[in-house]
Structure 1
Amino acid sequence: MDEYVRKERSPLELLDDEPVGECSDAEVDEEELNNFLMGDVLVGGDGRHKPKLSFAEKYVRKLMRRGRRGTTKIASTTRKKRKRKTAAHASKLTPQLEKLMQQATTHYLCGNFKDAIKTLKEVVRRAPGLHDPFHMLGLIYQEEYNDPVTATGYYLLAAHLVQTDLELWKRIAEMSQDLGNVDQAIYCFKKCLRNNEGEPNEEAIFSLAMCYLEKQDHPNAIKKLHFLFDLHPDDGLLLHELCKSLTIVGDKETLLAVLQTYYDSTGDLDAAQRACQLQLTLAQYTECSDFVQFVANKLQTQIVKLPLPMIVAYVVSMLHTDVEPVTELSTIWNMNDVTPIMVYSIALAMAQRCPEKALQWFYKAYRKDDPTTVRAMTAQQGIQMAKCLIIVEKNSDTAEQLLAKLLEREPNNSELIILMADILELGGKHAKSDELLGRLTTTDLDRLKMIQKPIEPGERHAELMYLIDAVYTLLNACFSEIKYRPAPCLLAQNDNKRNTEDFCAILKSTNQWIDRFLRIVNDCELDTERTYQKLSTSKANRNQNDDVSQEYNELRKDVGKNYSFLRTKKDLGLQSVEDIIGWKHYESLLESATALMAMAGRSKEGVQLLEIIANNKKRYKSNTDIVERKHMLTTVENLIFKLSCFGGIYKVALGHARSDFVNTGNLKRYAALLGSGTLAKAALSALSSSSEKDALLENRSWVTRQLLLKPYNFDLLMVAGHFCTMSGNWPFALEEYRRALMQRPKDHVAALCLAVNYFNSLSSKVVEDNKKNVVMAMAFLQYSLELRKDSTQTHPYSGVYHAECLYNLGRAMHFINMLHIAVPLYEKCIETIRQLENTYKEVKNQDALQCPCIICDICRKSDVKFPHEVHGLAEGQFVWEYERKHILRVSAIFNSITQNTGRSI
């Protein structure tokens, strides 16, 4: 096999539609050589960048060179290429090359740089594997022409020829930093992280960390800085940079460990103080008090002799553990340099257990006429002080003034607003109280467990009747014609019909209907929460009255467990959607609303509402409508999945698909998601550089866990094999596909995947016997082709499948560099397709494919039977119209080859 076979291959490259060619360094002119060496470097620079040759042009040049040579280069399949540790030795140079190098050196020393460059390029043309010409070219462009961009390019070529030249890698990295090419600097610094003895190169590691910081890549910077900090735990610069990055990413636990390590190494009390503050932030009160005691013991002194911030931290931590440090409190009280922030933190820790003493500490720092004391107080501290004022002194005026000042600084703080409204309500200032409560948002209400007043039953009934009457008109306007269908519906058209005035009017009416629907349904779904709130209050009251509690329990035993929920809901006068229109009509209304929200591009709102409905119905306690409720819950779960798929909310969709697999053992939904949308596009590249790397890695872990529970599931084995292929783990992929083929020996896809991975494994360094893998690959490929042929014999377009088999076999021959077999197979494939043109030209396919999207799914269920299927995308027509074009793409390449060479390959 040729040498390029052993290079890394992307997953399933055997099935790519473009063959991989071979590059030779012989018979290349100076202009082509300059473009080859410096093309990527000069992109975006000056005007020396030339356009790249097409694949066909490169392939023709290669064949012409091969014809002149008259021989074919054949590489050994067993002998591995040794890694060259140094540049080409002078002893290996021919006398002519030595003479040229001497001439280039002479030109360089004499200042004839143009002649030196010309001579060096001639050396490169004759011996492109030498290190010294590239290095000297870089030196000339850097020092004499002051062209660091070109110099960096030549240095990179020299460095790749001598991988162990660490100083050269470092120089390139520093030049790249100066040029602002941080990515290239990172790449070069990674090449010199260890010296020739295998020891860490600390200077390069630190420079790499600085590059990561320049890119705002703090996680990677933290890894490098933490490695250096472990080697030098007393380095203040490392501590500063590491703490800064850890603070940005919010990793307080690691930051605390770093500060404590630095203190252990240096005894720096500033680091100890910062560690104490972090422990208080993390609510590690016991650890904080122990750490302060440890510092005092290490210094052989008392706690009151430590710096003031550490004494305050010790007092706060002890107060939170219900221990009052009398000595330390007395010491802080008598100090003159105590800041208001310190006093407020002590008072806050004391407020719950002793509001009287806490108020004294608040008064020690608070001055209503001093704005600095107000600015030093946090919202939580102000709330506690106001509560202490009301509890201890009944001083609502001072509390109101304090909260008013804090609200000027934080006007949207919900806790301040509610406490201020309560105080105003107690003082009879109802208008101001209502005005304050009007600032609260729905998020604030949900967080504070405050539920808005329900819509009146009469208004609910009227709104629901309007929604039911208007929905049929909207459905007819939106779905009767396919020109308004949005992507990713298969019926969608690219003729901009959705930008017309007619559709804009329809869309406006649809959005108005959706707004009214969301308002009424969201309010009705809050009835469950309202009922449970009332239940918790009633339960607390009954527990205080033993007689009432006993009577209630006896009554509940008689009528059933759901008595309390239904009775409370009835007492509150709440009628939800299912109570007004019934479960069946509610389910139908939800389906129609979901389709309209998908049509209007409001999938996210729809998924949120459906999730709320599903959660509430799971909490709904009633034995009277259990069958209808379960049926509706199943429908809602299905709507969530389809709407999230339609709107591209893949995390929600994957969660439901996984749940479906766990419950039913069917992986169809999950596999369909992985094979569509952004996840499918991301799978075309290597997993390490994928745009959806995190999502794919998380799903790979889930598949691995499921395989432990179901090791013989064919679908799981295939998905696991695909993930291993994306990662380039050919041995693991082979094992998964082999197990899958054992489960279904007649599955041609599993056999083809197994064959492809045997071909890919030829580039792996761990493969011991390449010949065996070639034999196995060809055997399974032939087996898959036979299975494919048997399964498509009765298909109306079976000839196209035959061409597909020829194409796959040709790609296999091409992969192992057997072009004398591959090219005839390609030509036969193309000839087969062309012969089928006349045969299938008059065939009319009446098959129709049903679109699986949420809109078409609702249209199928509708009584009107709106359009929901598409012609021309059924299996037979799809094979002919699309796979035929895919195969014909190779014809242009080989036609160009045969015309330019004047002979058949």
Structure 2
Amino acid sequence: MDVENEEPIDPSPLEIKGNPLTEICMEIDMPSTSEDYSLTTLQSMLPPSVTEEDSGSDDEQTVVKRTKEEEQDLTNKYLTGQLTFSEYAAQYGENVYEEAYEEDEPEKKQEQETSVEANDFEQNLAEIKESSSIKKRPKIRSRQRNNLPPVLKGLMGEANLRYARGEHELAIKLCFEIIRQFPWASEPFETLASLYDEKGDTEKSLQISLLAAHLNPRASKHLWINLAERSEDRGDLKQAITCYGKAIRADSKDFELHMKQAILYERIDDKKSALKRYSKLLQCVGPQHGEKLVEIAKMLAHRYHEGNDLPKAKEALKTLFEKCSNLVTIELVNFMLEILITLKDFETSIETLVKFCNLQATFDKTEDGKFRLLTCSEPENMVIDIFAKLVIIVIHSQAFHLFDHFLTKVKTMNPEEAGDFYFDVAEALIAEKRFIDAMELLTPLTQSTNFNLPAIWLRMAECLKALDRIEDSIKAYLIVVDKAPQLLGARLAVSELLISLGRRDKALEVLTQDEDSEVLNTALLYERCLLLQKMPDKKEQFLVVANLFLSRHFVHIAAKEDITALTTSKAERKKSMIKENKNLQKTFSQGEELKGEFSQTFNEPPSEDEWQLFWSVCEVCLEIGNYSTLQRLAFSAQGSPKFSKYSNQIDLLCLSACYYNSDAYFGYNMVRAQVMKNMDCKRSWNLFNMMILRADDSRHNRFLMRLLIRNPHHRALTTLHANNCLVAGTYKYALSDYTAVYQKENSAMMAFLIGVTLCQMACQKFSAKKHSLVTQSVAYFWKYKELRGREGLQESHFNIGRAFHQLGLLPSAIHHYKKALETKSKFIDDNTEHLNLQREAAFNLHLIYLSSGARDVARMYLEKYIVI
């Protein structure tokens, strides 16, 4: 559409012909249709915006300045929908709600100061005038007001004129041209919003209206309310909250605006912000909104009380009491006293009672600043709940010189009707360690019909325990356990008393829970485990109960594949394998398979104590020889999230359990991981050797060969590989490896193994140079004897005798066997069961004499050294 082809426009009220505005309009480069003017088109027209604030006085507050590129980027993101209006406004540092209150604070301060000065008006008129002229509240400048240049003002008028005549397309083009040249003015955005609204594009109209209002520093409260309502109708609650915040900045005294914004915060489930808004509202709104203030204060106090934020609950009620004292009810006073007693603010409690309940009291403070109640006289018609709070305050204030009067009055009440009153006062007395006075109030309750309850008996038992009446306390605790088995504290307390009297069986009975019908309490189960651990005759029962206790977070092993998943070496791989395994998936996450059987308690033992219990269970399994249970428990602990920091100890425990239970298959998996992590640890290689001695397969052979290729000079690997060669009959390979280790480590073991290898080679049927092999073998055996020293002399003679026995040199064998029988050593005598070789030497001698026909001598050695 070309401007030159337009029909002539009536020059009034604005003369177009011969006017510079006509030339501007004709030079506009515009798209052919209005549809091209989308928000993207608008974005492309916007040049970098100027954010410099005009210079103001020193007390003027300005928003954070931004570079041209940063502000352009923010505007582009808003127009393309990447930012909501709330986020867009927040980027300019505008916390609209808080700023509204910040503006209001200096005004309040000014009013207070003015009221003080006004009292002396006649004497200081000149100073007051001077003060009022100086103490203006500071302005908060949020944005610079950007006025259109004169030429663009004329173009804006032309756009409005076209809009009024119904020429919407041209009006849109003119607005976009103004925005392209001067994008900081609100007028073209306002006109565009109206145009899009008439075209039915309410979404685009709303977004442009928001931007127009944001650019207009004089946007009215009603405009922001309208935008907020439109945003709320669209379901954009956060945007509505921002708009209400802008409206509050315009009029911070409007009660309804505060309420609407707080309600919207609740609707988006931002409870914290909603409570903050209600609290601010309670502070800034005057007593003219009395009924609503009462409603808000009660709501705030109850919510803060439920959230255990008692100081804020107190402040909410305190504000209400100060602003609307005529609307304070007995219920509010009772609630306030409850909060103050919990906070131990007894001075404010007495002041509240004096002000609202006609209490007559005097008090002061001690030298250390502690509250002290001197006299107290209550009115005759005081409500019983308020009277109960008063008695509790007297007790906690330790004003016991006044207590006898109140106690006498309490005892005149019927415990069947005032049982709650009795109980509250008794609890206060217990807290102040006045157990005898407390029992005077608890005893009538235990004998009553309506209040013969477990809680009453529990407090009675505590009093009796504090007065050292143990037997009576136990009876009271047992009544509590009988009436309310789910009370953990009562069971633990009575079991502790029974144990102190040596009645462990009765304590165990108290701690026992019905596993079928009762929800198991973790703390009770733990105490039961500790008690059973101290009873040597109940080890089997201890294992059962401890196993049940630990099953909360242990994995459940149901098949061989479960153990395979648990024996993997890497922690990350172990977790993934456990999660992939269907059986373990159910129990890996905090024992989900048993979920519902255990109650959630806040006094569970720490993981360190549970670990000690688990270790004790393993020791008991070893002690009684229950190796299968030990292995199952050890592997179940692998998947425990509570024992994750003990993973290394659990791995070693699993390895030991496999060894004791003769499970070489899984034991080899565990020990292989150990030697891979600790290649230079001799103990790991000793464990590896012990495990493969019990293996039924030859997996370790291939593992050792592969590892030896990567570590050709590793002594333990070379020795184990040589052992495999010796067992397999490839003696030359074994001799080569043994000799290589012996050259680096001149040890008795290597000398002995070389001697054994040479002896085996000499015993082969077709071996050459048997004499030379025997000579070398004997030489290494003598070297072995020398290196073993005096402590190993019996062992040396016995092994040399075995070698001669195998070679058929029987006289030499007999000589060394007899030397083994004659050798004495204190070290051997101290460890006879494990180190003494006399029975083995005697048995071999018996075989030699038996083969030679000397039966009597053979029998003599059997009868002398081998006794069954």
TM-score scaled by length of structure 2: 0.41
Q: Which has the bigger relative contact order, CA under 8 A and spacing at least 6?
A: 1
Bigger radius of gyration among the two: 2
TM-score scaled by length of structure 1: 0.40
